[in-house]
Amino acid sequence: MWLAGHIYFTTKKMNNQIAFIDEFGNNGLEFDSEGVSTHFIVTAILIDKEGLEKNENKIEVIRKANFQTGEMKSSKVADNDTRRLAILNQLNEVDYHIFSVVIDKRELKGQGFNYKEPFYKFLHSLVDRELFSVFPDLLVVADEHGGNVFKEGFIKYINKRHIPDLFSQSEFRFSNSKSNLVVQLADFVTGTLARCYETKKLSERRGAFLSCLKSKITEIRFWPPDYKPFAFNPEKDFANYDPTISSLGLNLAQQFIDQAKNTAIQFEIDQRTCLNYLIFHFKNINPENYIPTFELINQIEKVRNSPISMHYFRSKIIAKLRDNGVLVSSSNKGYKLPSSKSDLYEFVSHSNSYIQPMIERLMKCRNKVKLATKNDLDILDVEEFKYLQIIIKSEK
């Protein structure tokens, strides 16, 4: 039996957005049994409160065109991938964003997980931790229909763990999938993600689904942390894919994310957001494609809810990541994690296009000053510039 409950909540720190939650999966661990999912997926659909009515009107037009008098439900599309992709493209007209947690149940170890109570208690704590690390102030609202084990337990868990005070007041509202169009959107998106990650429902067009959704995805978090899902077979689908270089780039990026997971420093939070998107794109969209700078900046601004400058992005995010040993390849097309030797060479070539002219200008300046002072002044003859002398000698 597939779970189909819905929750939505508003957040104070995310520009008064409303987030609608849907989940896919069940507590079964006998994976050979029919109807037992290998994954549990919880997805939050975020929409700005002020634009809710406008977006609901857009969803209604799409619902009516594709489902006539019925609800917009993922199960009604099932494995008709062409129809699903067409609807996803239409839904891109809606202003919404996705935050999702994907749990591989096959990695749940221990006898306790065979029972519902410890299973859902673990899920509640995991989803709570992941959601609240990004959205610290949540006002939870539940679907008015009961009978959903995950949903009902999650509400109790949130209510117990996040006690309201003078600065954060809990507020509960109710909705149902028949009357709430964004709840239906949450169901459709969650069902689509199941087609991308649930082993028993994997679609051959999952790469196309994720590519269509990528502008809407704020983040997808995976459990366990070292879980490495790919929406493709990288060594089969990409001729230049180098597993050694790819693993090195991914591992260094993940190490930095793990080290910075508890940081309160804004630029480190932004670095983590940037890397999460680079990893997601690498594993789910295309490891060979560069991501345009504006797209990365847009992803960072979605999470921090305030604009950043190009200078900030390059100096505080990309440069600092490289200072920490993270491999971020770049070209005039944007940025990516390296997947091949050519990515590394392109990064060196791109850097050299800036470094080489700077060295040449520096050499001209140095030579003219030496000539004018009859070699009495060498502007590089100080300890802090010794490395530049070495570079210039190498150039000669």
DSSP 266-277: HHHHHHHHHHHH
Both 86 and 21 in a single domain? Answer: yes
Q: Which of 43-57, 66-80, 87-101 has the weakest average pLDDT?
A: 43-57
Both 180 and 325 in a single domain? Answer: no
Res. 109 pLDDT band, cuts 50 70 90: confident
Q: pLDDT (tens digit, 9 = 90+) per residue, 287-337?
A: 888 999 999 999 898 888 789 999 999 999 999 999 999 999 998 899 999
Largest distance between two CA atoms of the chain:
89
Residue 229 lies in a domain: no
Domain C-terminal end among 223, 253, 270: 223
Mean pLDDT of the chain: 82
Sequence-ordered strand ranges (E) for 297-386: 329-331, 334-336
Domain count, the chain: 3
Res. 1 pLDDT band, cuts 50 70 90: very low
- CA distance to 162, 210, 257, 367, 372, per residue, from 376 (Å): 70, 64, 51, 12, 9
**Whether residue 224 has a cis bond before it, omega within 30° of 0:** yes
Model confidence at 13: pLDDT above 60: no
Q: Which domain holds residue 376?
A: 344-395
Strands 138-143 and 6-11: antiparallel
Both 254 and 281 in a single domain? Answer: yes
Both 92 and 203 in a single domain? Answer: yes
Res. 167 pLDDT band, cuts 50 70 90: very low
Distance CA 290, CA 4 (A): 37
Residue 260: exposure state from Cβ atoms within 10 A (0-12, 13-18, ≥19): middle
Both 170 and 318 in a single domain? Answer: no
Phi, psi of 240 (to 5 degrees): -90, 0
